[in-house]
Amino acid sequence: MSYGKTISIIVRGIVAISILLLSFALVGFFVQTKPEIEQSVDGRSVNSVVTIAVEPIPIQRQTIGYGLSEAAVHADIPAEVTSKVAFITPNSKAGRAVSKGELILELDSSDYEELLVQAEQAYQSAFSQQEILHVERTSAEARADLAQSDLKLAETEYARIESAFDRGAANQREVDIARQKVIASTSAAINAKEIADKYPSLEEQTSANVKSLKAAMNIAALNVQRCKVVSPIDGVLQQILVEVGEHVMNGVTIARVISSNEMEVAIRFPSYARSFIHIGDPVKIESAGYGNRIWNSRISRIAPEDQSETRTMLAFADLMQKPDEPQHLPAGLFVKAVVSDQSNHEPRIVIPRRSIREDKVMLVENGVLKTVPVDIEYSVIDKLGFAGLPDYDWAVLESDLPEGSRLVLVPSTHLRDGMQINPLEYSEGLKQ
C-alpha cells in the first residue's frame, strides 16, 4: 500500500511541474510577440476635434409662445323661447355643413300661436276703436263749427233787435228773448268745443294703445318664428345639445355652428417679449402634438395688459383658409407659435446649443484649446444651415468671441485647457 501511495504522489508532481513549464512558455511567447506602441516625437498626443469657424451672421430674434386656435366666426345658438323640442331635422348631425337660415330643429309653438291669435285680436279691436274715435272727432268738430255759426247768428239777431229797440221799433221783451238766445247759443258752442277738444287726447291715447298692442303682436309673431331654430351663419354644425322631447329654457345654448374659413389664434408669450413683438411680425404656427403641421401668418393684434398670474402677454394671429385645403387648421388645436422680430437684423454670433457646457464653450486658437464663458441672449429654433450643420437649436450670444478662433462642436469631458488640438471641419469629421 505504501508503494502505490508513493507512485501517486510522483505522478501528481510530474503533472504539476509540466503545467508550470507550459505556463512559463506561453508568457514568454506573448511577451516576445507584443505590438510596439509608437511614441510621439514631442512627447505629447494631438487630438482631432470637429470645429466650426466663429463669425457673426444676420439673425432675427425669435420668441416662442403657445395658444389655442379658435374660429373667428362662430355661433352658440341659444333657445330664444321656453318650450319643448318637437323636431330635429334628420340632417342635423355634427360635422354637416349648414347654410345661413337653414333649419336645425323646431320647438313646440302651439302656446305661442295661441298667444299670437290673442295679440292679433286685441290689436284689431284697438285699431277699430281708433277708427271710431276718428269718426267721432270729425262729427264733434263739425258740431262745434255749427254751434259757433249759430252763436254768430244769435249775436247778429240780438244786435238788430237792440238797434230797433233804441229806435222805438221793438219792445223790451223782444230784446230779452234775443239776449236769452245769445246766451243759449254761447253755452252750446262752449260745450261743443269742449267735446271736440277732448278727441285729440283720446286719439293720442288710443294710438299709443294701438302701437303697444301692435308691438305685442309682433313679439308674439317673433316667438312663433323663434320656435324654428336656424343657423345664423354659413358653417359646419359642431354639436346639438338637446334631444326631442327635452324641455329647454330661454337663453340655454342648444347648438353650435362654426366657420373655419377665418381662424384666430390667441398666443401667450412671455411678458419680457413685449418689446420684441410687433403688429405685422411673421409668425410660424405649428401643431404642438403629433403631425408636424405648419401654418404661416402674422401678428394682427396685441393685448395691452400682461397677465400677472402667468407672467405672459397675449397676441393674436389671423389665418384665412379654404374648407378644402389639405393643411387645414382646426378650431381648438393647441399650437406652438414662433414669431420673428423684424425690427433687428444685426449680425450676431450664433452657435449650436450642443456646443455649450455649463455656460462655457471651448475654442481652438493656434492649435491650443481654451475654455471661454458665454452669456446667451436668446435662442433660435430653426434649421439655419450655418456651417452645413443640421442643428435646429441655436444660441445667440450677447458678446462676440475672439476673431480667428474655432468653436469645438461637441465639448467632451476628456478635453482640457492647453491641450494641442487638430481642428477638423464638420465635413471632415463626418468622414472619420
DSSP 186-232: HHHHHHHHHHHHHHHHHHHHHHHHHHHHHHHHHHHHHHHHHTEEE-S
Closest CA to 391 of 13, 7, 52, 2: 52
Residues with Cβ within 8 Å of residue 113, at least 6 apart in sequence = 224
Q: What number does CATH give the domain 61-107+230-344? A: 2.40.30.170
Question: What is the spatial distance between Cα 338 and Cα 299, in angstroms, rounded to a whole number?
Answer: 11
Are the beta carbons of 367 and 316 closer than 8 angstroms?
no
Rounded mean pLDDT of 282-294?
A: 81
Are the beta carbons of 239 and 74 closer than 8 angstroms?
no
What confidence tens digit (pLDDT) does each residue in 320-342 have? 988 777 788 888 889 999 888 77
Closest CA to 353 of 324, 313, 384: 384
Share of the chain above pLDDT 90, in %: 27
What confidence tens digit (pLDDT) does each residue in 247-284 have? 999 999 999 999 888 899 999 999 988 988 889 989 99
Predicted local distance difference test score (pLDDT) of residue 49: 85
Predicted local distance difference test score (pLDDT) of residue 301: 93
What confidence tens digit (pLDDT) does each residue in 15-58 have? 788 888 888 778 777 777 766 555 444 444 577 888 888 888 88
Q: Name the least confident of 165-169, 374-378, 418-422.
A: 165-169
Exposure string of 85-105, with b = 16+ CB inside 10 Å and e = fewer, is beebeeebeeeeebeeebebb
Predicted local distance difference test score (pLDDT) of residue 252: 93
Q: What is the largest CA-CA distance in the chain?
A: 210
Are the beta carbons of 394 and 374 closer than 8 angstroms?
no
| Top-ranked range on mean pLDDT: pick from 150-154, 240-244, 357-361 | 240-244
Closest CA to 380 of 276, 238, 287, 249: 276
Predicted local distance difference test score (pLDDT) of residue 416: 82
Only one residue has cell 503545467, namely 19
Looking only at the bridges linking them, the beta strands covering 421-424 and 47-53 are: parallel
Rounded mean pLDDT of 292-304?
A: 90
Predicted local distance difference test score (pLDDT) of residue 347: 82
- The 3-class secondary structure across 97-112, one letter per residue, is EECCCCEEEEECCHHH
Question: What is the spatial distance between Cα 373 and Cα 22, in angstroms, rounded to a whole number?
Answer: 60
pLDDT at residue 110 tops 80: yes
Residues with Cβ within 8 Å of residue 346, at least 6 apart in sequence = 58
Question: What is the spatial distance between Cα 393 and Cα 390, in angstroms, rounded to a whole number?
Answer: 9
What cell does 37 get?
506602441
Are the beta carbons of 65 and 269 closer than 8 angstroms?
yes
Only one residue has cell 476673431, namely 403
Are the beta carbons of 248 and 129 closer than 8 angstroms?
no
What integer best gives the mean pLDDT of the chain? 84
Predicted local distance difference test score (pLDDT) of residue 232: 92
Phi first, then psi: give them for residue 377, nearest 5 degrees. Answer: -85, -45
Are the beta carbons of 350 and 306 closer than 8 angstroms?
no
Predicted local distance difference test score (pLDDT) of residue 144: 86
What cell does 365 get?
486658437
Q: Which residue has the higher pLDDT, 117 or 359?
A: 117
Share of the chain above pLDDT 70, in %: 94
Phi first, then psi: give them for residue 344, nearest 5 degrees. Answer: -140, 120
240 in helix, strand or coil? strand
Predicted local distance difference test score (pLDDT) of residue 115: 93
pTM exceeding the 0.75 threshold for the entire prediction: no
Q: Which residue has the higher pLDDT, 373 or 401?
A: 373
Question: Which residues does residue 257 pair with via DSSP β-bridges, in sequence order?
Answer: 75, 237
pLDDT at residue 244 tops 60: yes
Identify the DSSP state of 392.
Answer: -
Question: What is the spatial distance between Cα 307 and Cα 310, in angstroms, rounded to a whole number?
Answer: 6
What cell does 172 get?
223790451
Domain 48-59+346-431 of CATH type 3.30.420.40: no
Closest CA to 423 of 413, 410, 386, 414: 410
Are the beta carbons of 322 and 269 closer than 8 angstroms?
no
Neighbours of 222 (CB within 10 A): 14
Question: What is the spatial distance between Cα 289 and Cα 260, in angstroms, rounded to a whole number?
Answer: 20
